[in-house]
Amino acid sequence: MSDVNKNIKKVTRHVSQNEGLIFERSSAGKRGYRLPPLDVPEVDAGKVLGAAVRENLGEMPEVSEFEIIRHFTRLSTWNYAIDLGMYPLGSCTMKYNARVNETVVRLDGLANAHPYLPEKMAQGALRVMHELSQALIEITGMDAITLQPAAGAHGEMTGIMLVRAYFEAQGKQRKKILIPDSAHGTNPATAAICGYEVENLRSNAKGMVDINALAEQMNEDVAALMLTNPNTLGVFEEDIHKIADLMHNKGGLLYMDGANMNALVGKARPGDFGVDVMHLNLHKTFSTPHGGGGPGSGPVAIKKHLEPFLPTPVITAKDGRLAFDYDRPKSIGRVKAFYGNFGMHVRALAYILANGPDGLRQTTEDAVLTANYVRKKLEDVYDLPFKSPSMHEVVLSHRLQAQNGVKTGDIAKRLIDYGFHPYTTAFPLIVADHGAIMIEPTESEPKEELDLFIDAMRSIAAEAGSNPEIILNAPHTARVERMDEVTANRKPILRWKPAADAGKP
Amino acid sequence: MSDVNKNIKKVTRHVSQNEGLIFERSSAGKRGYRLPPLDVPEVDAGKVLGAAVRENLGEMPEVSEFEIIRHFTRLSTWNYAIDLGMYPLGSCTMKYNARVNETVVRLDGLANAHPYLPEKMAQGALRVMHELSQALIEITGMDAITLQPAAGAHGEMTGIMLVRAYFEAQGKQRKKILIPDSAHGTNPATAAICGYEVENLRSNAKGMVDINALAEQMNEDVAALMLTNPNTLGVFEEDIHKIADLMHNKGGLLYMDGANMNALVGKARPGDFGVDVMHLNLHKTFSTPHGGGGPGSGPVAIKKHLEPFLPTPVITAKDGRLAFDYDRPKSIGRVKAFYGNFGMHVRALAYILANGPDGLRQTTEDAVLTANYVRKKLEDVYDLPFKSPSMHEVVLSHRLQAQNGVKTGDIAKRLIDYGFHPYTTAFPLIVADHGAIMIEPTESEPKEELDLFIDAMRSIAAEAGSNPEIILNAPHTARVERMDEVTANRKPILRWKPAADAGKP
Amino acid sequence: MLDAVGARNIDDLFSHIPAEYRLKGDLHGPRQMGEAEIVDYFKGFAGDMSAGYSIMLGAGSYYHYRPVVIDSLISRGEFFTAYTPYQAEISQGTLQAIFEFQTMICELTGMEVANASLYDGSTGIAEAVMMAIRITGRSSTVIARSVHPEYREVLRTYAQHQGMPIAETAFLETGRVDLKALDAAITDETACVVIQSPNFFGTIEDVAAVADIAHKKGALLIVSIAEALSLGIVKPPVEADIVTMEAQSFGVPLGYGGPYVGVLATREKFVRQMPGRLVGQTTDRQGKRGFVLTLSTREQHIRREKATSNICTNQGLVALMATIYMCIYGREGLKELAKQNLSKAAYAVGEFKKSAKILFDGAPRFNEFVVQTPGAAKQINDKLLDQKIIGGLPLNRYYPELGNSAVWCCTELVAKAQIDAAAQAVGK
Amino acid sequence: MLDAVGARNIDDLFSHIPAEYRLKGDLHGPRQMGEAEIVDYFKGFAGDMSAGYSIMLGAGSYYHYRPVVIDSLISRGEFFTAYTPYQAEISQGTLQAIFEFQTMICELTGMEVANASLYDGSTGIAEAVMMAIRITGRSSTVIARSVHPEYREVLRTYAQHQGMPIAETAFLETGRVDLKALDAAITDETACVVIQSPNFFGTIEDVAAVADIAHKKGALLIVSIAEALSLGIVKPPVEADIVTMEAQSFGVPLGYGGPYVGVLATREKFVRQMPGRLVGQTTDRQGKRGFVLTLSTREQHIRREKATSNICTNQGLVALMATIYMCIYGREGLKELAKQNLSKAAYAVGEFKKSAKILFDGAPRFNEFVVQTPGAAKQINDKLLDQKIIGGLPLNRYYPELGNSAVWCCTELVAKAQIDAAAQAVGK
Ligand SMILES: Cc1ncc(COP(=O)(O)O)c(C=O)c1O
Ligand SMILES: Cc1ncc(COP(=O)(O)O)c(C=O)c1O
């Protein structure tokens, strides 16, 4: 073991508390709450509810407040997080989540605002949404925006529905959406949900849209192209101009997946290069925390010609006061109750203010610089399947290591031993043999951390030659080893049961 | 290694981030702050300050906000804490620190109150101190109190100064303070600071004050006896009545060190059994957090005859409003600027309200029960030097294990491998061979955690016979091994220096 | 680093972006602010909101007390700065917490499996309907008009382009679904029936009866729950095939409407048709218990256009809030708290009756009720603002047929004094 | 557990407490409150305080902006629920942070060693004086009257029973120590001279000159600093033998006067006479760098009555706040921030001069200044309250000879508008 770890500079093993399931701590009579006395007569639930009354809450736990603190504190220590170290998940933009954002979002007036407050009581919240909308419109170069979608995929759906509505309004719906083979899975899934056929568009050798293929495939049946730019290889589509023209000339629309906006903010604007509709991920580019799987926020920005179709309500300013406009006959309707993930709007606006115009540009420049630095330092030991210039992320492949049976997923597990969260594995799919090693450092990483990461990746590359076994059996230093996912899939255990053997760790 | 740990149920090893000193992260140009623009003309510091102007700040670090978050987050993960597990430090009362206390103390009005606010603007803060004072007076059964002392030792000093002032006022100062050999080091140190000679009072076979010795040693030269009750063995001084009489008959006073009040709150009151003056540790009995070494708060409660001497200012209520009374000619004066550690007063009051009278009693009962449970489960494998009934803590000794060369300090280190913070070692000193194993579970520990602790202690006792080496070389699972304290003492390195070899971990 | 990458200046790295698309100047917008300024800026916004008012609004967003431990725990960087737990070995904390969440949701809803979360209660219905369509191979939906109006709008938005016809059925005097009308509305093309209980009026539906009707015609029953706390005292919809719930009541701030957390729970046999993430228990190579994301072949990153849903990022941290909340109150507390809500609303109904008309008084309700007043609800609310009370939601926009009525809510945070004051006001 | 310990009921475990001392009934006092009630209870108190006012009070407690990361970091249970780091192997986090604190304090004060903290700035002087007495073997102290009045009171309290005579020396028109008087006051029994800089009037003392005089007579110089931020722009008192400082300005809330954090720094040669805890760097058995509490033979738990001090629990978590604060602002930020304070005060002095008299105008100052007014300071302050301004501290209680005067403070948080408003008011 110790020699398995001799090259590891970044981490050391330390005691980590074990902890069972909360249900295994539960016992009758423990309580983590204390209610104030009731100031009205207590009713007899049986009388009030009759047959609808509930007698007991089954296996819900009974634990003390202190046990809850311990339980979740211990659990938390089993997680890796940005706060602990570099989190180079490509396409996820794991940047620093500023604490001031967490402070302002918890201000009483914002945190405890009911969505149905009379508008005159909600001006503060409306202002937040209005200011954020203005800022995002400026950053994207688009004409209008909706903050309603709850995440990127939700934004995609909203955007594609706007596309549909646009063609409906013209009285001639189209059948297909073109999607490059490098696209994220949410793109085709979204197109399908919106009732479109998905047609695959193959990338060229440079990892970019193949203009000729596009020219062939584009016709009056195609509603839109869903393009990610920079694409999932971190490569800017240099023919973006031709792409937009090809689409527009045939009456089609250009949708842009804005997941990679961290490469463009303050440097280039989709609205300027022909995009008709796009979504943003506030939980990526605009630093709202990922929270172990959300919440996110996926605003959709559009050009004028799509504005009539925006989801309701839309914020409008009349005589100095902001208000919601519900009267939009051509709207696609709501995509979510209320107004979107407002808490994320507050955080994103705080991020934008903390940076300012120059700070936003600087951020993008640093993000692109760190990615290129990592590329430069690794391209001699890892295969670079597409040589086009990288922007905010670099996609390598496991081709060289695979010769020793070491795959991208194995290298990822070994990175854990080296004290890092792995990069994104096996995506994008256009990298041969599902061998993608997709690295996005973000602007947040200091050089010291990048150098440790580079050192770890190079060291693993060396191990792939000298001792592949170490890698194939990794991780060795975490509190658990590789999980049996096959059984998990074959015989799913999706909830705790009192009968079930607890098998405490 | 792994077999060294085969009996360990509580913890597993896990990756833990390394981190150098903040100075080693520093580089010119990085910044963790951003100031608003100045709204008045900027002055030329050289002009304003002349010779007094400072040119540079030497080795002060330059780091980004994100690096600061990472630095201290990583450091924090190297600590053990109550939130992670049982912290059975005897005499320290490591109980749950309720989160609601942290919430209320941060309320804007309290957190940002300047100590020199006009009294009419400070009524809220005065109310907090007043309510807490009333509650503590009721709990101790004393007549008056000062919240000014910053910690237990500071309270001791304040209390002994009150004793001095009392005798001064009588025009006949006394020379000595009697202190049992079981007392905490702060007791004699305090007496000395207050200009008293310390006379040692030996304990009897039961670990209690030897009444006869006291009778012999008590005379008109003795100002007071500094008694801890229950004493540092966790034993209630059953002759407390006689002790008080012996002191009072000779005109002396009885001082009580209230560090162990967690054994008495709601069950017995020092004011009822003859104590004239005592201190409390809000950071023990009343759950204010220890914070890795403070801040604390050490209020001093007294009987009427000492009231004139209380430190200034004293809170008084005149016509419904609270005010500070500075005009107290006999006062010993201030022991601290302002009014004490107000933030701890807020937390302690919140604790008292969260419990209420019955909750406070329950707490004491549970604290005594857990200690006795641990005692019962360990007394067959560890020597119990004093057989008297235990209250909130139990003091064992290493006598049996020492036969194999295993001392209390070694067992403590081995407990770390078992996932616990050690008990208090080698205190009180009256346990032979500095062999004390002083365990205070507190009311906060659930039975499951106690059983794991008992299991660990028993397992270590077994190892002491079977494999003392494991214990003598412990800990094995922490990120660092035993430290070279000798060199640390002989050639102290008390600050980082740029020259100094960093020797990064 | 510039040298290392062999760039003369930073713009070299952007040179492959066609020149005409490279921004020349700065973006327009507010200058960079210092932290102190940012805090003041938002305090300015927060200042002119309803802090300190007592809130008698519900309608899908409920003002319950949030124990402080929730924020102290979710504020640990290990939770809130982690990504979706793709790498199990260093994500066991999040994974175990989700597994506990799934378990508790099952216990509360009476279902067999629950997912790791959906965006919210409104999109939850849409996902449930699409799931029902996949399961039954039928295409149409019957939804009760007593389901939250915005939830129905969202369903319509999702459905419009997928050839999923939607019919709405009426409610009775009692506020409950009109069973006859429902029965008539269901055809052999009906994939599912959707109701909400407690419904938008606060009325608790007769789920069993609805289930019978739906099942007799081979349709699935989807029950939506907007006020999760009701499950502390109201019988769970065990007769449903899919339960979709908005869990905001479980420790999630009102936050002007989001982020909240949707959940979808169903029967084991439908698990492979579920949308969203699922965490499963398994063991590592040493046989040690652990947790992983599982059954991901349902999801978009594997199945692409054939996925059960396009959802990817969901509401992880909000689900954690709810998990902690459910642990704090637990088996006894949820019941006790729900009972306090029940009592507050019952008391309020009694008081409001003295000066106004209570609609739908024929069936049991939880903590909401509909009040019909002589004057317009909006005017009443305006008057109440002076007393720092936020009145009920006027229903005229959604249910013009109900005249001057509004749906009111009394949680444990509404004090008797405010109820009395409001009861006074509605009469005038 | 009762059975396990062989007790019939809980009272068995208290039976050895003499019956007459066992409480029969409940303690008197407020009933147990629910969490929501506790929060409301304290909100009630917090409500009638000065939230939202601009504070122009200093005098030993300074209202500076607190970056939010401080609280998010110290709120980690690993820091705030840990005890004093006695067990180094599982306390490296706290130990390394203290080592960094000691280093930064040395850098800022110009001293060679600093301890892990003392209670506060006031008790720091008392500890420093006792230390000087141990070092010099002399018994008396000369302290400047321009030292914070409460600090002097505390010194008197500590000194009264230890035969430590204390003499006070006057200040000049400039606000600085009267060097002649000082020289005269020092005898060959004088262990130390104590000054504060910036002093209670905000005036920066000529430390070097005072040091010369003290040292010539074999006395040590103790310099107390109440406004730590001044070190960002004011020369450190390198000529001192002991520096004792209140570090509240470094990210510690005003908190109505505490908890704050005192520090004591001195020359290497005096280290074994220092009070309080010290953290030292060392290595573990593998040669890996680590940190431990060291030189503890000075302390009470070993030395008992011969200890250098009785201090045990000190201000750990507050020292951590200060450490984080010093990292955030660092080398450049402390200077920039100090300069903003300097500029605010300079501007204020200019404005106040227009309508009132500025005392001690002859020597440099940092962010405080003394204003003498026609009317009583208290009345002026009362008037300012209407404008939500808390005026300067009236000096009549401490320095009657200064007439209607008050010491004002302008930190970076006092806006120009408030300065102008106050300047207006003082004239009236
Ligand atoms: C390129 C791309 N598109 C879309 C998405 C989906 O965004 P979300 O997870 O917010 O739904 C992602 C997220 O990983 C992505 O990387
Ligand atoms: C018995 C006893 N007395 C006094 C003290 C000193 O209290 P403090 O550390 O708050 O100064 C302690 C603290 O450990 C103690 O245990």
Say whether pLDDT at A180 is over 60. yes
Structural tokens at position B19? 């981190």
CB contact under 8 A, B69 and C77: yes
A140 in contact with ligand 1, CB cutoff 6 A? no
Q: Which residues of chain D make contact with C76, given a CB cutoff of 8 A?
A: 76
Q: Which of A72, D323, A32 is nearest to B291 (CA)?
A: D323
Residues of C in contact with B102 (CB under 8 A): 68, 72
Tell me the torsion sign for CA atoms C16, C19, C24, C27. Answer: negative
Element (H, E) at A322: strand A321-325
Query: pTM of whole model > 0.80?
Result: yes
pLDDT at A1 > cutoff 50: no
Instruction: Calculate how close chain A gets to C172, using CA atoms only, in Å.
Output: 18
pLDDT for residue D161: 84
Give A382-440 pLDDT, tens digit per residue. Answer: 999 999 999 999 999 999 999 999 999 999 999 999 999 999 999 999 999 999 999 99
ipTM > 0.90 (yes/no): yes
Rounded to whole angstroms, the Cα distance separating C412 from C418 reads: 12
Across the range C406-412, mean pLDDT stands at 98
User: Whose C-alpha lies nearest to ligand 2, atom 9?
Assistant: D313
With contacts defined as CB-CB under 8 Å, which chain B residues touch C69?
A: 99
**D36: which chain C residues are within 8 Å (Cβ-Cβ)?**
65, 412-413
Which of left, alpha, beta for D385 (phi over 0: left; psi -120 to 50: alpha)? alpha
For residues B350 and B98, the answer to whether their CB atoms sit within 8 Å is yes
DSSP β-bridge partners for residue A162: none
Interface of D with C (CB under 8 A): 35-36, 39, 65, 67-68, 72, 75-76, 412-413
What token pair was written down for A57? 């809450």
Instruction: Give the one of A57, A87, A186 whose C-beta lies nearest to C107's C-beta.
Output: A57
pLDDT at position D51 is 86
Q: Which percentage of chain D shows pLDDT scores above 70? A: 100
DSSP for C160-192, written as a single string: TTTT--EEEE-B-TTSSB-HHHHHHH--TTEEE
Query: Looking at chain A from residue 439 to 468, which residues have their Cβ under 8 Å from any Cβ of chain C?
Result: 447, 450
Kindly report the three-state secondary structure assignment for every residue of chain D.
CHHHHCCCCHHHHHCCCCHHHECCCCCCCCCCCCHHHHHHHHHHHHHCCCCCCEECCCCCCCCCCCCHHHHHHHCCHHHHCCCCCCCHHHEHHHHHHHHHHHHHHHHHHCCCEECCCECCHHHHHHHHHHHHHHHHCCCEEEEECCCCHHHHHHHHHHHCCCCCCEEEECECCCCCECHHHHHHHCCCCEEEEEEECCCCCCECCCHHHHHHHHHHCCCEEEEEECCHHHHHCECCCCCCCEEEEECCCCCCCCHHHCCCCEEEEECHHHHHHCCCCEEEEEEECCCCEEEEEECHHHCHHHHHHHCCCCCCCCCHHHHHHHHHHHHHHHHHHHHHHHHHHHHHHHHHHHHHHCCCEEECCCCCECCEEEEECCCCHHHHHHHHHCCCEECCEECCCCCHHHCCEEEEECCCCCCHHHHHHHHHHHHC
**CA atoms lying within 13 Å on the CB side of residue D199:** 28
D22 touches chain B (CB under 8 A): yes
| A33·D33 Cβ contact <8 A | no
Is A99 in Cβ contact with D69 (below 8 Å)?
Answer: yes
The b-or-e profile of D127-162 (16+ CB within 10 A means b, else e) is bbbbbbbebbebebbbbbbbbbbbbbbbbbbbbbbe
Position A409 scores a pLDDT of 97
Tell me what percent of chain C is helix, strand and coil, each rounded to the nearest 5: 45, 15, 40
For residue D416, pLDDT over 70 is answered with: yes
The whole-number average pLDDT for the span D140-149 is 98
**Does any CB of chain D come closer than 8 Å to the CB of residue B9?**
no
Task: Name the residue of B281, B286, B344, B392 whose CB sits within 8 Å of the most ligand 2 atoms, as the mutation to test its pocket.
Answer: B281
Choose the residue to mutate in B181, B186, B190 for probing ligand 2, maximizing ligand atoms within 8 Å of C-beta. Answer: B186
Instruction: Provide mean pLDDT across the span C366-379.
Output: 95
Q: Strands across the sheet with C140-144, in order? A: C113-114, C262-266, C242-246, C220-225, C190-196, C140-144, C166-169
Structure-token pair, residue A366: 């640093």
Chain C contact for B102 (CB, 8 A cutoff):
yes
Read off the pLDDT band of A500 (50, 70, 90): low
Residue D38 touches partner A, C-beta closer than 8 Å: no
| Cis amide linkage into residue A428, ω under 30° from 0 | yes
Q: Is the pLDDT of residue D297 over 90?
A: no
Query: Rg (Cα) of chain D, in Å, rounded?
Result: 24
8-state DSSP, B75: H
Q: Which residues contact D29 (CB under 8 A, 6 or more apart)?
A: B134, B135, B138, B352, B356, B357
Q: Render pLDDT for D62-112 as a digit per residue (tens, 0 to 9).
A: 999 999 999 999 999 999 999 999 999 999 999 999 999 999 999 999 999
pLDDT bucket at A3, cuts 50 / 70 / 90: low
Kindly provide the b/e burial profile for residues A320-337, where b requires at least 16 CB atoms within 10 angstroms of the residue's own CB.
eebbeeeebeebbbbbbb
Q: Distance (Å, rounded) from C-alpha A90 to C-alpha A235?
A: 13
pLDDT greater than 60 at residue A505 = no
CB atoms inside a 10 Å sphere around CB C188: 9
Q: State the closest ligand 2 atom to the C-alpha of D311, by its place in the atom list counted from 1.
A: 11
**CA atoms of B108 and B106, how far apart (whole Å):** 6
Contact B189, B177 (CB under 8 A): no
- Our mutation pick for probing the ligand 1 site, out of A89, A158, A186, counting the most ligand atoms within 8 A of Cβ, is A186
User: Residue C196 contacts by C-beta under 8 Å, 6 or more apart in sequence?
Assistant: C144, C146, C147, C148, C151, C205, C223, C224, C225, C226
Average pLDDT over residues C203-212: 98
Choose among D242, D311, D319, D224: nearest CA to D276: D311
Within 8 A by CB and 6+ apart from C237, the residues are: C109, C110, C197, C207, C221, C223, C225, C243
For residue A12, give the chain B residue with the closest CA: B16
Q: Where are the alpha helices (DSSP H) in B303-440?
A: 342-378, 399-402, 408-417
Q: What is the pLDDT of residue B3?
A: 67
Element spanning C420, H or E: helix C416-427
A94 Cα: distance to centroid of ligand 1 (angstroms): 13
Q: CB neighbours of D184 closer than 8 A, spacing ≥ 6?
A: none
Q: Which residue of A has its CA nearest to B2?
A: A1
Instruction: Report chain D's mean pLDDT, rounded to a whole number.
Output: 96
pLDDT digits (tens, 9 = 90+) for C38-89: 999 999 999 878 888 999 999 999 999 999 999 999 999 999 999 999 999 9
d(CA B322, CA B133): 13
Contact C35 B33 (CB under 8 A): yes
Does the pLDDT of residue A2 top 80, yes or no? no
3 state SS of A395: strand
Q: Which tokens in the block code for residue D220?
A: 């040590």
Report the residue count for chain B. 505
**Which residues is C224 bridged to in the sheet?**
C196, C244
pLDDT tens series, chain B, 505 aa: 456 778 899 999 999 999 999 999 999 999 999 999 999 999 999 999 999 999 999 999 999 999 999 999 999 999 999 999 999 999 999 999 999 999 999 999 999 999 999 999 999 999 999 999 999 999 999 999 999 999 999 999 999 999 999 999 999 999 999 999 999 999 999 999 999 999 999 999 999 999 999 999 999 999 999 999 999 999 999 999 999 999 999 999 999 999 999 999 999 999 999 999 999 999 999 999 999 999 999 999 999 999 999 999 999 998 889 999 999 999 999 999 999 999 999 999 999 999 999 999 999 999 999 999 999 999 999 999 999 999 999 999 999 999 999 999 999 999 999 999 999 999 999 999 999 999 999 999 999 999 999 999 999 999 999 999 999 999 999 999 999 999 999 999 999 999 754 444 3
Tell me the nearest-neighbour CA distance from A64 into chain B, angstroms: 9
